Each structure stands twice: as C-alpha cells, then as structure tokens.
C-alpha cells in the first residue's frame, strides 16, 4: 500500500535522502530550483531556493549538505542555500546539466550529467574526491552518457550499480573501494519498453536494488542475481527515485514528477510531483556521507 506523504506537486521531484541527524527527508525539485525538507513525524515542510537547477543532495560529514547545481557541486545548508562552490564540470556548455548523484562507501561524491536538448550521449559520470587538501579532484569516469541516473554500491563495496536511462538498463561495475576505480561494466537488468524507463536507484539492507520506473508508475525491487522480487505500483506516471527513512529505515519514500505530463494527464494525476511513502517489509541502509 502506498500513501501520499506530502502533496508538494514538484515539477521534477528527485533525489530523496534521509538525514538521521535531523529526522528530515530531503529531496529536490530540479526544474523548480528548490530543495525540500520534510519532517514525517510532525508534517513540517520547508523549501529552500537555489537559484539554479538542483538535481541531487547528499549528506556531508561536516554536518551540512552537498548539492549539484547546473554545472557546480556546492556546499549547502537549509538556512542560506548553496554557499560555496566546490567543483565544476562542463561549465562552458549551456546544453547540459547535472542529474543524479550519490556518495560511495569511502565518502567520494559521484554525479553525472545529461543533455538539456534531448541529444544522446552528451553527458558523463564524474567522481569527486572532495577531501583532497589541494582542492576537489574531479575524474571523468564514464563517457557518452545520455541521462546519468541512479547509482549505489553493494554493502561489501565490491560492486557499483548504475543507470544511464538511455540504455534502458541497470548496469553493474566491479568497484575498488580503495581507489574508486571501476571496471567490467555489464548489464544487470534490462527494462522492457512497455514497463517504463529506469530512473533513480538505491540498495536496501539485503543488497537488493530498488529502481523507479519513469513513465512506468512503479518502483521495482531486484535481487542481487537480477530477479524481480517485488513491485510497488504508484498513482502517478513518473516516479523518480526511492529513499528509505524513519527511525528503523523501514519507510520507503518515493519522489515523482509532473514535468512530462500534458494538461489532461495532470488532471488525471492530481498528485503527480508529490512525495509518496510505502512500507515494503524490508529495511534500507543509512546513506554514506561525503568527506
């Protein structure tokens, strides 16, 4: 069963993440240029403007947050918004922006880009080593990406799962946690065209993979062997990403979007762009913090 957690109707809701320090569920509205913070225990909801596309938010070990703007990785807090640029990519281009991002087990931040004009293979996936004393080190890790989306790591740090939505696949890489190197890219799951497009993903405490299906009205759970083991249907066409939250990490929050819907679809889906919650009977993992 899925419940409406917050009727916020984002144009392009994305990137939910649970902050156990504050008891807040954070997520972004990419096209609305906002970071949302929601406290499930009280229903309190606040919005912080960013002045630019904002596509991902991550917890930082220093106690605040890291966000991706159009071309920048920046420090962020809920009082003043983005306040210090850490690194930039593709800054001379007006036709790309950052999309999804997440933190690996060693505290490195990963985020990828996509075209703003619908062109294929215009983006890339980057790794940001933020803790370098000489400043952030930026490494381009995957080339010719169409829409860089979900990314997460197995609990033993040996595998990295990744979605380029243009491929209609979840891929898996071998991952070296010590160096951040990736190798051996191979298909893990292919999503049939009739089932939607793979968007954001996360792993749960059992190392199963949860992926949102854009234009598929569902989120799916796949076992580490690639078997479909659970599906949660949603009352909206375009779910975007999941995050486990709550004190026991047993509540599955799902962001969604309305940007791709025409007027008729918006009328039929009045809660498109809102935040949903389900209790799937499994637990999640606490997200890593950027160093």
Q: How confident is the prediction along the chain (291 residues), in pLDDT tens digits per residue?
A: 899 999 999 999 999 999 999 999 999 999 999 999 999 999 999 999 999 999 999 999 988 999 999 999 999 999 999 999 999 999 999 999 999 999 999 999 999 999 999 999 999 999 999 987 777 899 999 999 999 999 999 999 999 999 999 999 999 999 999 999 999 999 999 999 999 999 999 999 999 999 999 999 999 999 999 999 999 999 999 999 999 999 999 999 999 999 999 999 999 999 999 999 999 999 999 999 999
- Residue 82 CB partners (closer than 8 Å, separation 6+): 50, 51, 52, 54, 67, 69, 72, 74, 75, 76
Name the nearest CA neighbour of 238 among 220, 258, 253: 258
- 3-class SS at 138? strand
**Under CATH, which architecture does the 2-278 domain have?**
6 Propeller (2.120)
Distance CA(110)–CA(219), nearest Å, equals 23
């Amino acid at each position: 069963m899925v419940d409406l957690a917050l009727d916020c109707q984002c144009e392009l809701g994305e990137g939910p993440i649970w902050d156990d320090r504050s008891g807040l569920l954070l997520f972004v509205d990419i096209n609305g240029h906002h970071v949302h913070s929601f406290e499930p225990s009280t229903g309190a909801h606040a919005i912080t403007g960013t002045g630019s596309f904002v596509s991902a938010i991550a917890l930082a070990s220093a106690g605040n947050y890291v966000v991706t703007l159009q071309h920048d990785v920046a420090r962020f807090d809920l009082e003043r918004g983005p306040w210090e640029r850490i690194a930039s990519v593709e800054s001379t281009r007006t036709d790309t922006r950052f999309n999804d991002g997440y933190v690996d087990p060693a505290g490195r931040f990963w985020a990828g880009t996509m075209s703003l004009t619908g062109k294929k293979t215009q983006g890339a996936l980057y790794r940001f080593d933020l803790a370098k004393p000489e400043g952030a080190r930026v490494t381009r890790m995957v080339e010719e990406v169409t829409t860089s989306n979900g990314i997460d790591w197995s609990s033993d740090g040996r595998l990295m799962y990744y979605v380029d939505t243009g491929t209609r696949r979840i891929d898996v890489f071998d991952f070296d946690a010590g160096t951040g190197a990736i190798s051996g890219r191979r298909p893990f799951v292919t999503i049939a065209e009739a089932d939607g497009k793979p968007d954001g993903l996360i792993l749960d405490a059992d190392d199963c993979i949860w992926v949102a299906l854009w234009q598929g009205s569902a989120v799916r759970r796949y076992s580490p062997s690639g078997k479909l083991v659970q599906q949660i249907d949603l009352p909206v066409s375009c779910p975007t990403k999941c995050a486990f939250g709550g004190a026991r990490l047993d509540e599955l929050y799902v962001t969604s979007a309305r940007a791709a819907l025409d007027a008729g679809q918006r009328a039929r889906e009045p809660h498109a762009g809102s935040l949903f919650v389900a209790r799937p009977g499994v637990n999640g993992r606490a997200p890593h913090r950027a160093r």
